[in-house]
Amino acid sequence: MSLNKQTVETYLDGFRKNDHEQILSCLTDDIEWTVFGAFHLTGKEAYDAAIEGPGFVPPPRLDVVRMVEEDDVVMAELTGTVQRDTGEQMRMSMAEVFRMRDGKICERRAWVIELKRNDYL
């Protein structure tokens, strides 16, 4: 497995454990994070504050469907669930683009689709 894919795996593992230190160790200081339709932020401090999204109880369950790499980009298709603070579970399908620099994530672009009853998967 390449260094870039290893970094993404370590990063995802940090989210699965809600381990801020592990997550942040995978990022450059000038990290940019966009969740389309939700937010855009820059820098580790802002990233750290957004790890536990409002309305959710960590950690999420995240499963990698597939991961591909080309040049300095790793793309991952994920499925997962996360508990809402209301006690309900949210099922989701995600596409993630990780741009890498020197073995660390310098940009994360995410598309998160909530799966409702009768949705695929």
Query: What's the pLDDT at 5?
Result: 98
Choose among 121, 46, 116, 40: nearest CA to 77: 121
Query: What's the pLDDT at 119?
Result: 62
Q: Which domains does the chain have, with CATH numbers?
A: 3-115 (3.10.450.50)
Choose among 121, 70, 120: nearest CA to 97: 70
Average pLDDT, the chain: 95
